[in-house]
Amino acid sequence: SQTIHQWPATLVQPVGSPLSLECTVEGTSNPNLYWYRQAAGRGLQLLFYSVGIGQISSEVPQNLSASRPQDRQFILSSKKLLLSDSGFYLCAWSQNRLLNTEAFFGQGTRLTVV
Amino acid sequence: LAKTTQPISMDSYEGQEVNITCSHNNIATNDYITWYQQFPSQGPRFIIQGYKTKVTNEVASLFIPADRKSSTLSLPRVSLSDTAVYYCLVGDKIIFGKGTRLHILP
């Protein structure tokens, strides 16, 4: 069966520090991968999605970047965190097939920038 | 991407059937309709997906009229644990709107 791992679960980082969140998927190949952010009391915002290794699409301009160095690994990064980067970050995967909108989410990382 | 409109919040009581309607007037011919459930501090969970008429699974039913400009998620006999945010998605991108905050009362 497929599983998705996301870590760490919680993170407190000072403003201006770098960030690296990692997500890995097991039990499937060539998945679509996603990073979302949910700020406190707000909706779930799609940040990045990837349909293959090295293929990253950004949905909104921001202080973050994403990379997909391996088929089932998705990394969210920042060189210098801002206070506004605080939020609940979720990684997700879906099968890479036409019109598929069934995604499976990780447990999330709650990031607090102080 | 088709815009969706849902009620911001709903209250219901345990044991009742709950219907949440989503409007999507500019749905495209190839678009499917997908519903997710999200509990606090968790990622959304897929509930059900449909294209037209009625789809039913062990969790919910999805009713889609012939014109497909709206859809209704039906949760039978809700319990307190069904308190969550429910999202309606239309199209092939997994993009979430504001959702409907459902609160089940004892």
CATH of the domain at B94: 2.60.40.10
- pLDDT digits 0-9 by tens, B3-29: 899 999 999 999 999 999 999 999 999
Residues in B 44-103 with any Cβ partner in A closer than 8 A: 44-46, 49, 87, 89, 91-99
Quick one: pLDDT at residue B1?
Answer: 67
Report CB contact under 8 Å: A46, B93. yes
Q: Which residues of B touch A105 (CB under 8 A)?
A: 42-45
CATH class of segment(s) A3-113:
mainly beta
- pLDDT digits 0-9 by tens, A99-113: 778 999 999 999 999
- Total of domains in chain B: 1
- Vertex B3, ends B2 and B7: CA angle to 5°? 140
Report the DSSP pairing between strands B9-13 and B100-105: parallel
Count of H helices and E strands in chain A? 0, 11
3-state secondary structure of B82: helix
In a domain, B1, yes or no: no
Report CB contact under 8 Å: B89, A101. yes
3-state secondary structure of B8: coil
Domain that holds residue B63: 9-105
Residue B24 and residue B2 in contact, taking contact as beta carbons nearer than 8 Å: yes
Nearest C-alpha in B relative to A47 = B95
In a domain, B99, yes or no: yes
Report CB contact under 8 Å: A99, B92. yes
| Domain residue ranges in chain A | 3-113
Cα–Cα distance between B82 and B74 in angstroms, integer? Answer: 12
